[in-house]
A and B are shown apart, each in its own frame.
Chain A
Amino acid sequence: MITLYDYELSGNCYKLRLLMSILGIEYKTAPVDFYPGREHKSEWFLKLNPLGQIPVIDDDGLVLRDAQAILIYLAAKYDPSGTWYPRGNPALLGKISQWLSFADGITATASAARLHDGLFYALDIDAARAGAHRLFRILDEHLWFGEREDRDWICSAPSPTIADIACFPYVMLSEEGGIPRQDYPAIRRWCDRVKRIKGFTVMSGVFPAGPA
């Protein structure tokens, strides 16, 4: 049984809950009081992850940190269809990794802005927002041309990959950091598509889509 060291309002933890919900993986959560308790910097947690970051999973003794790394592990191990992380397709794996790094960029900007606005982190909010807008412009353009090339998802595959799951949460939560998505209509349509994936689940601040 997988244990997810989880904080309900974390988009990076939500990525894992989302993929596990879609793949139908059973797991239990161990809540980490990220705010205001700063439990992710506590002695017991630093033994699990010396970086002091959530999420962490423990899958029968295998302890993994880093949301993107865990997405790779979960999809590689638990997705019988092999479509979320197609191990036999090097070109696609390269693209997926490229967008997983892009997702880290979204965390560093859009998520940081949300930590500033919501949890009072001291950081350069203007730089965080400007950085998020720069990434969103790139993603919107990529998705807009995707719609013209019959590509519904971030990577050129007929079904979604973990790249979509990695990018989705902090895009969807961006308004909590003062980053509107009004200027990114293709991102907004892609968000609808992600929400219609079978097994999709929500978190606080992420609303469901209606039936397609």
Chain B
Amino acid sequence: MQQERTRTRWHPIAASHDLPPRHVFHAQLWGREFAVWRADDGYVNVWENRCLHRGVRLSIGINDGRELKCQYHGWRYANRTAGCTYIPAHPADAPARTITNRTYPAVERYGLVWSCEQPEGEVPGVPGLEREAPLALRGIPVNAPAALVVTALRAHRFQPNGRIDGSDAEMVVKAADDFSVALSARADGAATLAIFFVQPVDSGRSVIRGVLDRDPGAEARNAVLRHHNAGLSVLRDNVERQAAARPAPAPIEPVYERVPAALAELPEPSAHGRKAALRVTVARKWEAADGIAGFELRPLKGLLPTFQPGAHIDVHLPNGAIRQYSIVNGPGESDRYVIGVKREADSKGGSLCLHETVREGDVLAISEPRNNFPLRRDAVKTLLVAGGIGATPLIAMAQALHHQRLVHSFHYFAQNEAQLAFGDRLDGLKDTLVPHLGLTPQETGGRLRDILSGYAEGMHVYLCGPGPMLEAARAIAGECGWPDEAVHFEYFKNTRAIDDSSAFEIALARSCLTLKVPAGRSILEVMREAGVDMPSSCEQGACGTCMATVIEGEPDHQDVYLNDAEKRAGTKIMTCVSRAKSARLVLDV
């Protein structure tokens, strides 16, 4: 009985004024603790009050306005989704999607923040509070069970606004139930309705959250607040004396779910692997720069999955094409995905379709975000080097580095100023943004040499841009002494001609399958035909999604995702384009 009630009834767990910017409020309802925080965009997050790593309370964490950072080992969780975006002990990896904290609903109403474990319906309307701006009183924590507090409140007395110096108000109980009492006070023609909600913190603890039907205005407000605070403090002392005379009830032991069911399940296997699990609306389409269209994609329902800087989505276009676009968002900007699409002269239907056919209001199917280009936050200095539309993942990275106040510089090569994309975002990055405009390939090479000279241990560079520029930048970085593991890059596409003339055998060690890959077919295609599910995205050896681990055999690398050291090591393979030089490959699949 109590279990049912605890789960389905909405209760106030905080006042709106308890959530100033960059603060984490510590709330509790029926024994379950919450970390409650307001992001800079106004969104109120109500989360299980424990870090998924070591269980430390997130209410002592840091609200940086976009993410909540645990004090213990610095795990960062995103606004809205509570998905983990960064684990300092694994700086090179994007956290698994299962690392998502449990969230609870939050509704702000009457100056209070309401939540519920398993809500049935909306926060109920409260008669008398709907008319004009109500006034939330100071919450009064009471060391007594809610039932005792409610009983005492039925006999509570106060004076109406404007008459607080008297003591003879006529009190009427307008309504009452197990967790609230509505009282009206009348004196000398003045009347005030007060609703006292009793938040059951635990079996033996409560908070009285009172709301007056009317804010008396700035002049009288503090005196009214003090009047109620004094009266409720006396009530509290009386109730606590009663409670202390009784045996204390045992505290409620909340049940903690390990991982939400939706996250714990493996995705269903499918024959194609390129899934479009999400439906989004094009909320806004605009010219983000000369020849570049910006798209703001919002979810049809629910929340979008957590992303990190460097992540991309597959966009499934009305014409059947599937294209990859980097998410431009800054940290915590979790109510939408923003992408930038350049109109390509030699478009095979992707960019042209998005530019000409897709309009605001259209619904698109997209994949969950994937991150094969993760951003480390432990560099002594980070260089971001973008060419043209390659700026999109790096704008996301620059915003994250800027927000975390990490040392970086952002070099953005473009033909001219009009081609610098997402000017509104670049405006916020002025301190570190260095545009390089209208340079010839030779001049670009010289500039890259300037940028990449002066390597010191602990620096990392992230490159994204047209193939020739990336080739040049990677070569120059090598000459300037950058080790391969400090040079991170992402190609738009693989322009190499793929040689698929070889035929070989693959042994899938985990799946206990041996398959023949004939000339003209890819490892990925052969695996899928055999019912082995493998995620993929670009399917041309650029994005890194279909990577597999090689246990035995010599890969024939044809991708542009792995760096030279990784290719030499021969332990990873892009199954969409790469093949085998040996007669047999054993894969950890």
Contacts and interface: CB of A to CB of B under 8 A. Distances in A.
Are A and B part of the same complex? yes
Given A141-B229, A145-B225, A182 B26 contact: yes
B330 to A, nearest CB: 15
A192 B23 contact: yes
Interface stretch (A7-15, A29-37, A183-191): A183-191
B510 interface: no
A57 to B, nearest CB: 31
B54 interface: no
A181 B60 CA distance: 11
B222 A148 contact: yes
B221 A185 contact: no
A183 B20 contact: no
Contacts of A145: 138, 222, 225-226, 229
B20 A185 contact: no
B138 A189 contact: no
A205 to B, nearest CB: 11
Contacts of A200: none
Interface string A71-100: 000000000000000000000000000000
A71 B71 CA distance: 29
Contacts of B110: none
A194 to B, nearest CB: 13
A1 interface: no
Given A185-B25, A211-B22, 14 more contacts: A141-B233, A145-B138, A148-B222, A182-B26, A185-B14, A185-B26, A185-B139, A188-B25, A189-B20, A189-B23, A207-B71, A208-B62, A212-B21, A212-B22
A102 interface: no
Interface of A: 141, 144-145, 147-149, 181-183, 185, 188-189, 192, 207-212
B225 A209 contact: no
A192 B22 contact: yes
Contacts of A144: 138
B-side interface size class = 20 to 34
Contacts of B62: 208-210
Interface in B72-115: none
Q: Tell which of A141, A145, A185, A208 has the most Cβ of chain B within 10 Å.
A: A185
A77 to B, nearest CB: 34
B60 A210 contact: no
Nearest to A209: B62
Nearest to A183: B141
Nearest to B64: A210
A148 B22 contact: no
Contacts of B138: 141, 144-145
Contacts of A183: 141, 207
Contacts of B233: 141
12 contacts: A145-B225, A147-B17, A148-B222, A183-B141, A185-B25, A188-B23, A188-B26, A189-B20, A189-B23, A192-B22, A210-B63, A211-B64
B38 interface: no
Interface of B: 14, 17-18, 20-23, 25-26, 28, 60, 62-64, 69, 71, 138-139, 141, 207, 221-222, 225-226, 229, 233, 405
Contacts of B18: 185
Contacts of B226: 145
A148 B64 contact: no
B28 A182 contact: yes
A209 B64 CA distance: 9
Nearest to B17: A147
B100 to A, nearest CB: 22
A115 B144 CA distance: 28
Nearest to A148: B222
A147 B221 CA distance: 13
B25 A210 contact: no
A144 B71 CA distance: 26
A211 B225 contact: no
Nearest to B27: A182
List the 3 shortest-distance A-B pairs measured between CB atoms, nearest first: A210-B62, A183-B141, A182-B26
Nearest to B222: A148
Contacts of A141: 138, 229, 233
A181 B59 CA distance: 11
Contacts of A208: 62
A211 B62 CA distance: 9
A207 B60 contact: yes
A148 B229 contact: no
